[in-house]
C-alpha cells in the first residue's frame, strides 16, 4: 500500500523497473494541464515558441484545480479523464515529458509510445480531490489565466498517492 516513495527525478530514472499496479507516493514538481491548456501548449510548439514550462523530464497532471479557500494553498485538485489528452501525448513525449497523471484508460497507441519513450502514466484515484489537495505544498498560477480552472499551475507535491499503469 503506497509505501514506495519517489522524488520525480528518481521515478523517471526507475521507470523501466516499475510494474503496473505499483502504488507509489510521488514528491516533486507537477504542471497541471487539461484540454485547453494542451491545445495552447501544442500551438506554441507549432510556432516554434518556447513552451510555458520546461517539458524535458517534466510531469503533467491532468487537473483543473478549483480556487483555494482563504488560508489554503489550493482548492480541490482531482484528476480528469486522461483519454481526452491522448491526441496531444505523442508530441509531448517527443518534447521530453516523462510522466503523465490522470484517471482512466489510455489509447493503445499512447501506452506503446510511453514505453518507447521510457515514460510513465500514473493514475490518481478519482473522487479524492480534497485528499490530493492536501499533498500540495505550493501552487503557482503559471500561464493561461484566461482559461480559469484550466490554467496551468506549477504544483509542488509531497507524497501524492498514485498507481503505475
Report whether 100 contacts 62 (CB < 8 A). Answer: yes
- Locate 8 and state its grid cell: 520525480
- Locate 128 and state its grid cell: 479524492
Q: What is the pTM of this model?
A: 0.96
- List the domain range (segments joined by +) for residue 97: 4-164
CATH number of the domain where residue 26 is located: 3.20.130.10
Catalytic residue among 11, 12, 38, 101: 38
Q: In the chain, how many domains are there?
A: 1
Query: For 107-123, what is each residue's pLDDT tens digit?
Result: 999 999 999 999 999 99
Handedness of CA 81, 82, 86, 88 (dihedral sign): positive
Active site residue 38: yes
Query: For 118-163, what is each residue's pLDDT tens digit?
Result: 999 999 988 889 899 999 999 999 999 999 989 999 999 999 999 9
Amino acid at each position: 500500500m503506497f509505501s514506495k516513495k519517489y522524488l520525480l527525478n528518481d521515478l523517471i530514472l526507475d521507470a523501466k523497473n516499475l510494474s503496473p499496479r505499483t502504488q507509489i507516493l510521488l514528491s516533486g514538481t507537477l504542471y497541471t494541464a487539461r484540454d485547453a491548456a494542451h491545445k495552447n501548449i501544442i500551438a506554441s510548439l507549432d510556432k516554434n515558441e518556447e513552451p510555458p514550462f520546461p517539458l524535458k523530464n517534466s510531469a503533467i497532471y491532468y487537473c483543473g484545480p478549483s480556487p483555494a479557500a482563504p488560508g489554503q494553498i489550493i482548492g480541490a485538485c482531482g484528476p480528469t479523464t486522461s483519454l481526452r489528452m491522448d491526441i496531444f501525448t505523442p508530441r509531448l513525449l517527443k518534447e521530453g515529458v516523462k510522466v503523465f497523471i490522470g484517471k482512466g484508460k489510455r489509447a493503445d497507441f499512447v501506452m506503446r509510445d510511453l514505453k518507447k519513450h521510457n515514460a510513465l502514466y500514473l493514475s490518481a484515484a478519482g473522487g479524492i480531490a480534497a485528499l490530493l489537495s492536501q499533498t500540495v505544498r505550493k501552487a503557482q498560477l503559471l500561464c493561461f489565466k484566461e482559461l480559469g480552472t484550466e490554467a496551468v499551475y506549477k504544483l509542488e507535491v509531497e507524497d501524492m498517492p498514485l498507481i503505475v499503469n
